[in-house]
Amino acid sequence: MIAAQAATDVGGQLLIVSVLVGAVRSGTSIFYAALGETISERAGVINVGTEGCMLAGAMSAYAVTAETGNPWFGVLGAAAVGGALALLHAYLVIARGANQLANGLVIMFLGLGLTSLFGASYVSREINGFKPYAIPGLSSIPAVGDILFNHDPLTYLSFALGPAVWFLLFRTRWGLLLRGAGERAPVLSSYGYSPERIRYIAVGLGGLLAGIGGAQLSTAVALTWFENMTQGRGFIAVALVIFASWHPLWAMGGAYLFGAALALGPELQVRNVGVNQFVLDALPYVMTLAVLVVLAKRSFQRAPEGLAEVFDAPPVS
């Protein structure tokens, strides 16, 4: 039935419009996670466990929505659980000296384990998730209306969050302190601020946003829950942050680019263009690598200095 519906839509919608609609639709969850990871990395902590935070968010949101009937409670649950997992990461790397990359992977496995343990009973449950809300007036603008103004509430929220995080990071005193924690922690300490505390907050915020990204995926886009449903979106988000040179608005564009690649395959298939979906899936990664090659030097110069120490692994004897 869905296929038939899509097929009838083909005539009415240009390929480019359909792909852009899909780009926003499937890019938003990645955008939330990338935005969170940007905040975290700006403060000097990389969280490869973003995948786990997203997964935990997706499952918690689904479960809470199923139990309460209100997806907004689901979002709150997702934010809390995603943030909590990220704080655990923060504690282990900041207070216990754990390696950031290794510990991030453990957070990923923890998220996978917890969600399969507690999510199993929700696999076949149905929920009343978020529905697309067409903004009156704006949504009837040809093409643009469909692409931007006919989405679920979490997508609209993300439109505002991108610029908001940019403002927070680059135009507020708190953003300056946060970036200071990632670049010049000793300077911060000498002025009496605690880089550690700032990092806890940044990493926690990052996990919270990744959790909301997961919630958008399970309660607004897929409307289902299954084990490991994020399927690498959290890792994509981590890669995206570098692609975007640690800039929130570039992260937004990057996320939609990934979303477009995800949406292109099905749209082409509907139009009977034979393209292997997996070739298209690989495109964003190839593109990211290509961009890194082109921007190599510049891109890594923009990296928060605190991160350089993570990437340059200590030699082992």
Partner 1 sequence: MTVIDSPPEEITVAPEAPTKGTNDLARRVGSWVVAYLGALAVFGAFMALKGVNPFVAYRDMFDSTLMNSASLSEVLIKAAPFLLAALAVAVPARGGLVNLGGEGQIVMGGIAAAGVALGLEGKVASGLVMVAMLVGAMVAGALWAALAGVLRVGAGINEAISTLLLNYIAIDVLLYLISGPWKDSAGFGQLASKPLADETRLPTFGSDGRIHLGVFIAMAAAVGIWLLLRSTSWGFQLRVAGGNGEAARRAGLPVAKLLLSGLITGGAMAGLAGAIHFAGVEGQLRPGMTFGFGYIGFLASWLAGHHPIRIAGAALLLGAIAVAGDSLQIDAGLPAASVNVLMAFVLFAVLGKKPRLAGASR
Q: In the complex, which residues of this chain contact partner 1 (CB under 8 A)?
A: 44-45, 48, 88, 92-94, 96-103, 105-110, 112-114, 116-118, 120, 185, 195, 227-228, 232, 235-236, 238-239, 242, 276-279, 281-282, 285-286, 288-289, 292-293, 296-297, 300, 306, 309-317
Q: Are 275 and 269 in contact (CB under 8 A)?
A: yes
Q: Among residues 103, 97, 118, 115, which one has the least CA distance to residue 49? A: 103
Instruction: Quickly tell me which residue has 């940019």 as its tokens.
Output: 166
Measured over all CA atoms, what is the biggest interatomic distance in the chain, rounded to whole angstroms? 66
What is the C-alpha R_g of the chain? 20
Least distance CB 159 / partner 1 (angstroms): 27
DSSP string, 101-152: HHHHHHHHHHHHHHHHHHHGGGTT--------EEPTTGGGSTTHHHHHSEE-
- Residue 48 or 75: the one with the smaller Cβ distance to partner 1 is 48
- Residue 71 or 119: the one with the smaller Cβ distance to partner 1 is 119
Cα torsion 15, 18, 20, 25 to 10°: value is: -160
Least distance CB 281 / partner 1 (angstroms): 5
- Residue 161 or 238: the one with the smaller Cβ distance to partner 1 is 238
Least distance CB 95 / partner 1 (angstroms): 8
Least distance CB 121 / partner 1 (angstroms): 9
For 232, which DSSP code?
Answer: T
Interior angle at CA 253, CA 90 and CA 26, nearest 5: 80
Least distance CB 235 / partner 1 (angstroms): 6
- Residue 5 or 317: the one with the smaller Cβ distance to partner 1 is 317
Least distance CB 232 / partner 1 (angstroms): 6
Instruction: Quickly tell me which residue has 């496995």 as its tokens.
Output: 109
Instruction: Quickly tell me which residue has 């067409």 as its tokens.
Output: 134
Q: Which residue type, as a one-letter code, is found at position 18?
A: S
- Residue 160 or 313: the one with the smaller Cβ distance to partner 1 is 313
d(CA 81, CA 58): 10
d(CA 76, CA 60): 9
> What length does the chain have?
317
Least distance CB 166 / partner 1 (angstroms): 23
- Residue 83 or 104: the one with the smaller Cβ distance to partner 1 is 104
Q: Among residues 169, 171, 164, which one has the least CA distance to residue 43? A: 169
Least distance CB 283 / partner 1 (angstroms): 9
- Residue 167 or 311: the one with the smaller Cβ distance to partner 1 is 311
Instruction: Quickly tell me which residue has 């083909």 as its tokens.
Output: 10
- Residue 11 or 278: the one with the smaller Cβ distance to partner 1 is 278
- Residue 173 or 297: the one with the smaller Cβ distance to partner 1 is 297
Q: Among residues 64, 37, 49, which one has the least CA distance to residue 230? A: 49
Least distance CB 89 / partner 1 (angstroms): 10
